[in-house]
Structure 1
Amino acid sequence: MTSPQISKGAATAALLSLAIGSFAIGMGEFVVMGLLPNVAQDLLPQTWATAPGDAIAQAGWLISLYALGVVIGAPTIAGFVARYPRHRVMLVLSIVLAVGNLLTVLAPTFGWVAVARLVTGLPHGAYFGIGALVAADVMGPGKRAKGVAFILTGLTVANVVGVPLGTFLGQQIGWRAAYGVVAVLWVVTAIMIALFVPAHPGDPGRTMRAELRVFRIPQVWFTLALGAIGFGGFFALYSYVAPMVTDVAHAPEWVVPIVLVLMGVGMTIGNIIGGYLADINLRRTLLGGLLSIALVLVILALVSHWIVPLAALVFVMGLVSSSVNPTAQTRLMDVAEDNQSIAAALNHSAFNIGNSLGAFLGGVVIAWGWGFVAPAWVGVGLALIGFGIAWLSFRVEDRSRRRAGLAIAGPAD
């Protein structure tokens, strides 16, 4: 059911325009994970010559720095632009992302590439957050999670098509070529938004100070923490999937894009299933997703020396982890009261803290000499901690409702 203000066709065109942008974000954020050895060899040649593992771990900082940009930019940009028309904000963010990815292509050294990735990460959360509000409004009550999942579909499809193709392209003609494609995609997105996203007013009465009141809500902190830590388990694996395929399973380099396709397919399916299940029972979907991440990582770590079961479990990992994303996004919007703009963006801060945390801790255990399977075990711990935070969040919420004298007929959505 679409919003009564626009036709179904116009709503589809608007959401598709935004989804192309989320595709570009997904490709730009995740393609580096399949190209870490190539980036390390190009930007850190001296370290690569003596210690390839150390060079790959250092190249992993690019993942963490991009994620740090998201963490910084999501609440600040979303809070600042809440008063402005959302269609215009989305257009400006698209242009900034085009420029940031172009800078990544042109940056001559590791240090400058690191700066470019940090800057490019800044608009990420605001783009998704504002896009999620538009999608939720278009889909209407009772289907908000499906609307959020629609926008996130571009992100997951990027892992099916964009990331594997970008990885293959980067392996063949240089990793910078992949980011050249991302820059072009952002130009296309800006044009599509200008043409097809209808006027969507902001909230002129909102201020940065008012938006920041969201941090006074305890359940917001619970939700951010479960996303940041729990989803870090996924990124601990994803960040180092390329060396796991080549150095642990001893598969040739051309297998890496195939494994990434399988993960992307799993993420696409999981995103759709997660949006559907979250509208039925958000609580069980969230808890089940986090627990499943830990379980799949345990099995994956045990069979990672064989490429076929490794590839199959990477697919399952993409499926179960991606179901958490629209679920956590919807949960955060539910508990944020009237602070919707910043809340929708904060979810991406949380997930990118998870990105940074997983990549960093995975790099640490690799640098300690524990091997490329060690990040999977790090991920198990992070996912279980996230599950514990989610369980505690719901217990606290139930207790608060009982104290307020509200009857709880069943698991709360």
Structure 2
Amino acid sequence: MKLRLLAGLSAFVAAAGLSACSSGSGEGVSGDGGRTTIDVWLMRDSVSTAFQKQFERAFGAAHQDIDVRVQIQEWDGIGEKVTAALASNDAPDVIETGNTQVAQFAQSGGLWDLSDKVDELGGRHWLKGLAEPGTYDGKQYGIPYYAANRVVIYRKDLFAKAGVDARAIRTRAQWIAATKKLDKGDRQGIYLPGQNWYTLSGFIWDEGGELAEKTGGEWRGTLDTPEALRAMAFYEKLQALGKGPKDSDEAQPPQHEVMAKGQVAQIINTPGGANVIAQNNPALKGKLGFFPIPGKTADTPGAVFTGGSDLVIPTVARHHDAAYLFVKELTGDAWQKKLAVAMSYVPNKTTLAGAVAKDPGASAMAVGAAVGHATPNTPGWAAVEAKNPVKDYMTAVLTGGNPAHEAEKASDAITSAMKSGS
């Protein structure tokens, strides 16, 4: 689903909360003088009011025959709301959706196929973690909008005290060595909860594994592969260099609060988490830094789960051409650069990473996003996240369970959940 990992990112932008530019029924209509009105659903806190209005003014000036009505939607319950809209005759013309939600909406035939627009939109440079989940059955339905992902947030003062240079941490081996130096006395080398499964996913991808794979037309869980088992072994090694709980995730307790209160040298989170930490402990303002999650070798950063949004156009939308113009401009290079700077997001193309070069958190995200992934591209994955056997598996291993046995059980549970959810 849409980046639950973006809790920190939401805090990053919440101060500039969105509001709809007008109310409206969601029905695209033709106005006076032959003008076309398109209705657009954007998500709460995705962009600031200032950016939204700036784009609307520029789009209106460039396309004077098109009026745009934006309606702000809440993430809670959005899946059911979009599904209902796609099945009706009253769908908006453009919808922002979480990148991993696209497959479930496309499965019903409710989305307009944009495959013939990919080249025109510069699709060969799109971030893999946004582009791939925007496809279904080989067709492109979701157009990458923006991305965000986890990085390492670290305490500059604790690193200096331990004699650790964050700039020198480029590999997993260097990361482990540095974290061991940091893990002394009351100081935790890293606070890593036992059920941070998005981080584990990155380690699995680094090893060449997957959470699930499609074989012979059917999806099955693959936590029991050698690659995934190696990833879990590394997670266990890293998690032991701190006092993180083995039976909960980063929200229980909120890891930002833990880092703000104690001698925690590192956490893995979106850069927006640094703002939350500083809000909880103003003494840490200016003492927090960022670096990309290290990879197995220095030449390749660690893989990350790419969260963010795609833009889709419903099949039943009344103004496909006008909707496409809106999508084309908002996801085009000029506005992607502006969006990245305004919101500290990662632009939708690898070629635009330089737009955030002066933003330490966003530039660290952009490094990881270049090798980012998304969860398995199947509508059935939503059922996996609802039960989340991955979390149970991680806790079982960290509390002494046999890794191979627990991975086999979890893989079977993933397979069963995907079948029930498809």
* TM-score exceeds 0.5: no
Tell me the TM-score range normalised by the shorter chain.
under 0.3
* TM-score, structure 2 as length reference: 0.24
* TM-score, structure 1 as length reference: 0.24
Greater C-alpha radius of gyration: 2
Please state which structure has a larger fraction of its residues in strand: 2
